[in-house]
Structure 1
Amino acid sequence: MHSCSSRVSGRNEQVGEEIVRESPSLQFKKVDYRDKDALVAAMKGVSLVVHSAGPFQQRQTAEVLEAAIGAGVNYQDVCDDVDHMEMSRSLHDDAVESNITAAICTGIYPGISNLMAAKAIRDLDAAPEQVTFDYFTAGTGGAGPTILSTTFLLCGEDVRTYVDGKPSIKKPASGVRRVDFGEQVGHKNVFLLNLPEVLSIAEVYKVPNISARFGTAPDIWNVLTRFMACAVPKKILTNQALIAKFSEFIGPLVRAVDAIVGGTTAMRVEAVGSDGSSRSLLYGHEELSECVGIAAAAFTWHLLMSKNLPKGVLYPEELLSDPDEFEAVLESGVRTAFDWKTFTEKSL
């Protein structure tokens, strides 16, 4: 039997006190992530730092990872932003020199979705020719302003895809298509967004054609998102403070809609081989906010328990080179899903 103690850090003392009231075994320490010295001090004596203070979009530095490297402490984040991921990857050599493991993008998507893609690729009968990531979340999935801010900020980012082995830039919220997410979720419209798993799968598996799409419900939110991507100036969409205020302003409306549509999340990840063979993995969960925590916890447990962690700044698919450990983390990450299937036919 293994046990561990956890402490929570953040800038908002009121939120910290509420967390401790709900979970008395936790400790809370007020820390501003922008204060590197305070971060390093807060990390003293811990085995792992888990960074979940999103949104990650429009961050200019990877402060928490830099502090973890300085403190010599293993690190994990649930980053869902390409630029922040690349900033983190640029610290790979520093992490190796500090002898730490830094696992980045270890939430549900990206995170478990990366492992789904890796599994689909490995199960193909030929070399991978194409990988598509399709995601759906009803409303905000129970995540509230954070996912709302993330989506709006992504509307200000050009979308990186791969076509025939070369980077191909697309407009945000373009490329709409309809995807089958299984019987319980049904067919949903999804559109292109700039997501980090596209780049990591391209780098690790050399897949020539890759893209990622996202959609929500009700469909009016999709229409609003596409309108913002087309009509709102990029300098507004990339202003994190302004987007956060806007997300808070429409928060009451969003919460009312969430109460009606729920927080269902679904993922369909498909790999197609050069011979036309196909593998699709389908995942469905009742609540985004819950499944993100479960997914991150699967990676956390591995980082705490594994005796042979590679060093450096690593994508999820790089972290788990051992087949047994790979399957264990994937199984743990999807254990509460209401849908978990593998298909051999194409999604469209």
Structure 2
Amino acid sequence: MKKVLILGGQGRIGSSVAQDLLSHTDAEIVVTGRNDNRKVLQNSLDKSLQLLTLDLDNLEGLRTAIKGCDLVIHCAGPFHYRDGRVIKICIEEGVNYIDVSDHRSFYQKVIQYREEAKQAGITAILNTGVFPGISNSMVREGVEKLDQTDTIHLSYTVVGSGGAGITVMRTTFLGLREPFDAWLDGKWQKVLPYTKREKVDFPQPYGATGVYWFDVPETYTFAESFKVKNVITKFGSIPDFYNHLTWITAHVFPTAWIESHAGIEFFSKVSYNMTSVTDKLTGIGVAMRAEIRGEKEGKPANYLSTMVHNNTAFSAGCGTGSVAQFLLEEKLNQPGIYPVEQVLTTDLFQAAMNNRGIEINTHLVYN
């Protein structure tokens, strides 16, 4: 029996990953958290889970927990605040690694260990989950369908909290703090977060929804993974008034309010309390739309891929859980450190989504 350690496994995303592994593998699973949420966790999951109280600042305890595992899944965000300690210990202990990291700063911190991971023979896969994660594989499939790709336009919308907990709120507000580099016209250019609103048609029941520039890992890794001139990544919320509140936070309130830890916590808690009320009316779903523009058989063509699900956290569990399953089954073995789109093949991605009931709709249009 393979042993899996899920760091942050008692949170919303981590517990969704644990649920997926319980459903699709026979692995021994240990989930960690700073506090012992035994009653809450075991009411919602399987009692066979092993629970471990662990603070990632306890390096000795962290190493002890990792030693002897076959796979570590890092779900303890926000990843803006994380460094490479977990992946470094995994390299030293010879343990495979995946995570649900969702910011380029974390990618830039850990990619420096790529050669060490190769030499240690471990496979480390970053940015799994729903976005990033499933979104990355939707884009890879589209790029493979075209003969030449010019532009990737990737949009997401989340209903309320998405069922993903307060950590996702923190991640959103942390992403409003400063301009970021986007790959446009074949070069890096500065873009302001939560600007250039546009209406994007998502699958029903969501339809046309406002989205804005947002810094996600795909903005950075797609420029390395695919030969394209433009990578556009936009995010929005449902109901739409959350978009306007977020825009006001980013562009009207004093900058110091969203640059301080206290300010981030204030906005996150207020937003979480608001969505706790509206979630009951709107649900906690997610929709994604990937449009890949280029050429097919010498003609201009667009490849469109869409996905919708009524539970964002569940979808994230499917994305990460499927990658974990393939690693445990030794279907993914590529020593080094990679964003998920560089290592997960389209065939495996399609099989995982079909097996989990995640429907991806695609079609190719010639212009």
Match of 1:304 in 2: 328
CA–CA distance in structure 2, aligned partners of residues 53 and 262 of structure 1: 24
Q: Does 1:84 align with 2:92?
A: no
Partner Cα distance (2:335, 2:255) in 1: 37
Q: In the alignment, which residue of structure 1 is the partner of 2:349?
A: 329
Q: Which amino acid aligns with 1:260?
A: L
**Aligned Cα root-mean-square deviation (Å):** 2.1
- Corresponding position of 2:40: 18
> Helix, strand or coil: the match of 2:117?
helix
Aligned equivalents of 2:55, 2:236: Cα separation in 1: 33
The one-character-per-residue Cα deviations of 1:226-257 (angstroms, maximum 9, x if unpaired) are 11111234444244454234422443322001
| 2:304 is the alignment partner of 1:283 | no
Alignment of 1:61 with 2:83, yes or no, is yes
Tell me how many residue pairs correspond in the alignment: 340
Three-state SS of the structure 2 residue aligned to 1:207 is coil
Once residues 308 and 144 of structure 1 are traced to their aligned partners in structure 2, the CA distance between those partners, rounded to angstroms, is 30
Q: Distance in 2 between matches of 1:164 and 1:63?
A: 36
Amino acid at match of 2:34: R
Match of 1:185 in 2: 206
Mapped partners of 2:331, 2:351: distance in 1: 20
Q: Is contact 1:140-1:258 (8 Å) kept?
A: yes
SS in structure 2 of the partner of residue 113 of structure 1: helix
Output the CA distance in 2 between the equivalents of 1:11 and 1:193: 30
Correspondence for 1:294 among 318, 321, 342: 318
Are 2:163 and 1:108 equivalent residues in the alignment? no
Q: Distance in 1 between matches of 2:172 and 2:154?
A: 16
> What secondary structure is seen at the aligned counterpart in 1 of 2:130?
coil
- The one-letter amino acid of 1:105's match is N
Structure 1: runs of 5 or more not aligned: none
- Report the AA paired with residue 66 of structure 2: M
> Is residue 166 from structure 1 mapped to residue 187 from structure 2 by the alignment?
yes
1:160, distance to aligned residue in structure 2 (A): 2.7
Shift of 1:56: 1.2
Whether the 8 Å CA contact 1:286–1:338 is kept in 2: the answer is no
SS of 2:326 mapped into structure 1: helix
TM-score by length of 1: 0.91
Match of 2:361 among 321, 341, 345: 341
* Letter matched to residue 294 of structure 1: C
CA distance in 1, matches of 2:200, 2:82: 35
Aligned to 1:247: 268
154, 164, 188: which one pairs with 1:143? 164
- State the alpha-carbon separation in 2 of the partners of residues 149 and 309 from structure 1: 33
Look up the match of 2:28: 5
Name the residue aligned to 1:35: 58
Structure 1 residue 334, shift from structure 2 partner: 5.9
Q: Is the CA contact (8 Å cut-off) linking 1:11 and 1:32 kept in structure 2?
A: yes
| CA deviations over 1:254-305 (Å, ceiling 9, x no partner) | 2001111111110001110155211010100011011111111111101111
The structure-2 alpha-carbon separation of the partners of 1:333 and 1:240, relative to structure 1 and needing over 3 Å to count, comes to: farther
What is the Cα deviation at residue 200 of structure 1? 1.3
The one of 90, 95, 99 aligned to 2:117 = 95
On the 8 A contact 2:163/2:284 being kept in 1, the answer is: yes
Percentage of pairs with the same residue: 29
Change (3 A) 1:88 1:234: farther
The CA deviation at 1:88 is: 1.6
Q: How far apart in 1 are the matches of 2:331 and 2:364?
A: 36
Could you list the runs of 5+ residues in structure 2 that have no partner in the other structure? Answer: 1-23
Q: Per-residue deviation at 1:63?
A: 2.3
- Give the CA deviation at 1:157: 3.4
| Pairing 1:226-241 to 2, within 5 Å after superposition | 226-240=247-261
Q: Normalising by the residue count of structure 2, what TM-score does the alignment of the two structures yield?
A: 0.87
CA pair 331-233 structure 1, distance change in 2 beyond 3 A? farther
Residue 132 of structure 2 aligns to a residue in which SS?
coil
Judge conservation of contact 2:162–2:312 (CA < 8 Å) in 1.
yes
Displacement after TM superposition at 1:16 (Å)? 4.3
Task: Check conservation: 2:353, 2:359, Cα contact below 8 A.
Answer: no
Q: 1:183 to 1:332 in 2, by over 3 A?
A: same
Q: Distance in 1 between matches of 2:198 and 2:271?
A: 27
Q: Within 2, Cα distance between the matches of 1:216 and 1:346?
A: 31
Give the conservation status (yes or no) of the 8 Å contact 1:72–1:100: yes
Question: Aligned partners of 2:259 and 2:327: how far apart in 1?
Answer: 33
